[in-house]
Structure 1
């Protein structure tokens, strides 16, 4: 068996080995699978990183960085992949003013097509097109690759799967896209044998879009038959690598972060969140909910501390910067009202990128009485799985009903409505109260569930092996 994979996301490598590992997510998943089975990985080289062709690593792994000039990268990544498609799939567009399909956006669409065509060409050149070849496409950045790839093969023998780590929106919202784009994306994905998502609700939304916008498609419970080709639609959440978390818990970087965070907590019960500063993470509303809890119960400022770990997005656009500034302003207002210079009520922690940032998260979770995930709409949310594993028996996970991982962890967490500040606020207050946790039985069930997962099981699920 050989894996041939494409993603916009890129790995890091040192010498002849892929690195580093973290507890989960797309890149660690692909690293684990390639280290096990070998194969080739096509990905977008980061800006400013020049490579002279393929990189051959140990274990039969070959990396193929795709070089893009800045103008093409901007059109493909910023204009279409991030602003248009991720905005659509996460319900982020203010439809009173956006998106505006003017000449600039159509130029961006031409760039999106060009990059997808380039990926498909690389894929076709490297595909052996044999029955034991597994072709795995990832990220909304590459949704036209199946169309271009299929056009270069008269008969395909390899298995082709597309996995989207994002949500998928309902048909009414999908009409934000012009007909020629939405039809094109659906038809391209239906060249695949399998289309996968983290949660059944995203799979159902995709099936509903196929049924509504492709009149000649036959949609059944888990399949779409279109132009005589059958595509299976599956939900298969990424597993958590609990072995990595167990190792990180004993690392010196985690001990350093633990000492630092315990000093900041100053003996108070701690609530933690950890997010990349993405627009759907709902960070300002989370702070607003906590402020409401403090207004209702000012003693919480003396007894509790809210630690918010934040990392920057890959390419911060103007909207992301405004979002970060709004989050920082909310923290300042809370501390001006309830904090003291030597004892903040809320702290926004920026550990930076890299493995050390995950050590910060591990340290924070191991000392916390509660963890909160209040995403507006989230494909999975890895932090929720980390929290479910690392929180102790008396600690509680507050989990958005709109996070994809809620299908797995909802019965073992306290569900919150990400748009209801009062409900979220009261859940925070109750979770931080003495004796407010779920108990040892729930914590044990969370850990057993997460220990039962593996990358191999995920691979079998998304390729129907």
Structure 2
């Protein structure tokens, strides 16, 4: 169980054997566990910017990653190891996994982080009906506090004197303030991977909770964001609700894609195999004999990704421009996300319904206008990247959106990019993308037509500039820049 709130007294550093000079805290760690039928545990390592970033500081650095147990396998690993995982499972990385009580974790993660904070920062509420903050939410908020407190205590326990601590995202917004009270000697940074809500929308939150979240992040020496727009929104909220940001420095680090990894991984045998299958599904036009053009999107079925309006825009394209019939295929990968929440299950069902409606309305015996896949398959995603003529990235709101930064790097055809102006990536890539209002399906359909019709030389030149912008700050440098800035304070 999560412990009771600690006293305000400082927690002494852990014994020398376990002290770390660099610490990362995030909800999800670099490894997950599954319990087999025979009771043995199997581990699976993950990837992403934090994994790449930590590797960049070198194996000799004294670093530890603090994360939460997400499922039964993780909790069993914590039970067997005391939470300090076997380096053989983590690629040599020191990891401390927290066995937070399942009911506390569920309330904090599903009730507050994903059903409240995510909705606020992505402007997803249907405000005539939601949100409604009553006694049930206050109980969930108490779990969110306990969950954050567990992280703060673990970090205080693991950190050496004066260590640098990089706390990640909206799940852990209270950690910097709690950790500051326990260990004022530490250098603390917080990084937000989501957008930040404008003041008027942020004030949907109960007043006391809105202020508590801001004060939590301002417990850090440095609060950083993916774009200047999100940083300015945070500053505006602090100014409006608290009178300013105090002594906390504000930074911007626009996470880019890892070009070397993507290009190498995209040409492995499993990707080549999937390209063969995708090419068969895309096919050739029965009237011209040419390979059909492809509009590619790869997303989780997350409400903010705007998949349904993307499909409706494609339908509008086919209705307004019949010359594209039998000559284009929308390759749409919509991988289920957060299916334990009813609103996400309903959204996933709507994605499938609209896909079927488009294929029923326009499809022929030899042409399926939409090729939809819902089972997560990274190799297949990379295969689609390679085949993309047009990338469609139209989120309602997104902190960055790495898909927009990955497809131009991998595409073999020099793809055009149709990009929502509400994606953080638009700040760096908007000049060479075709920008769209994510709510305007007619304008998005027009942009798709323009992208499909773009002369090859123009598309190729735009794609080169898009790829350069996408890789300007790869994950390793993104992480090191934050660490350097924090240590310099």
TM-score, normalised by the number of residues in structure 1:
0.90
Query: 1:91 and 2:123 equivalent?
Result: yes
Alignment partner, residue 293 of structure 1: 317
**What is the CA-CA distance between 1:314 and the residue it aligns to?**
4.5
Separation in 2 of the partners of 1:205 and 1:73? 29
Gapped regions of structure 2 (runs ≥ 5): 1-19, 34-42, 284-290
Q: Is the 1:161–1:196 contact (alpha carbons within 8 Å) kept by the matching residues of 2?
A: yes
Alignment partner, residue 381 of structure 2: 361
Alignment partner, residue 30 of structure 2: 11
- Secondary structure at 1:94's aligned position in 2? coil
Separation in 2 of the partners of 1:35 and 1:367? 37
Quick one: which of 167, 177, 180 aligns to 2:205?
Answer: 177
Matches within 5 A, 1:117-132: 117-130=149-162
Separation in 2 of the partners of 1:34 and 1:407? 31
- Secondary structure at 1:438's aligned position in 2? helix
| Pair 181,323 (structure 1): closer, same or farther in 2 beyond 3 Å | same
Quick one: which of 257, 262, 270 aligns to 1:240?
Answer: 257
Alignment partner, residue 180 of structure 2: 150
Instruction: After superposition, give the CA deviation of every residue in 1:287-342 in whole Å (9 maximum; x if it has no partner).
Output: 01111110111232300000101212145310001111111111111001101255
Alignment partner, residue 421 of structure 1: 441
Alignment partner, residue 374 of structure 1: 394
Alignment partner, residue 307 of structure 1: 331
Q: Is the 2:308–2:351 contact (alpha carbons within 8 Å) kept by the matching residues of 1?
A: yes
TM-score, normalised by the number of residues in structure 2:
0.86
Separation in 1 of the partners of 2:441 and 2:235? 32
- After the TM superposition, which of the residue ranges 120-129 and 343-352 deviates more from structure 2? 343-352
Query: 1:187 and 2:180 equivalent?
Result: no
**What is the CA-CA distance between 1:433 and the residue it aligns to?**
2.5
| Pair 177,258 (structure 1): closer, same or farther in 2 beyond 3 Å | same
| Pair 195,11 (structure 1): closer, same or farther in 2 beyond 3 Å | same
Separation in 2 of the partners of 1:102 and 1:93? 16
**What is the CA-CA distance between 1:261 and the residue it aligns to?**
0.5
Separation in 1 of the partners of 2:325 and 2:102? 47
Alignment partner, residue 159 of structure 1: 187
Separation in 1 of the partners of 2:53 and 2:446? 36
- Secondary structure at 2:182's aligned position in 1? coil
Quick one: which of 46, 62, 82 aligns to 2:70?
Answer: 46
Runs of 4+ deviating beyond 6 Å: none
Alignment partner, residue 221 of structure 1: none
Quick one: which of 258, 268, 287 aligns to 2:275?
Answer: 258
Instruction: After superposition, give the CA deviation of every residue in 1:255-308 in whole Å (9 maximum; x if it has no partner).
Output: 111001100110211110000111100000000111111011123230000010
Q: Is the 1:80–1:109 contact (alpha carbons within 8 Å) kept by the matching residues of 2?
A: yes
Quick one: which of 202, 209, 234 aligns to 2:230?
Answer: 202
- Secondary structure at 2:215's aligned position in 1? helix
Separation in 1 of the partners of 2:361 and 2:280? 22
Gapped regions of structure 1 (runs ≥ 5): 218-223
Alignment partner, residue 7 of structure 2: none
- Quote the RMSD (CA, aligned, Å): 2.3
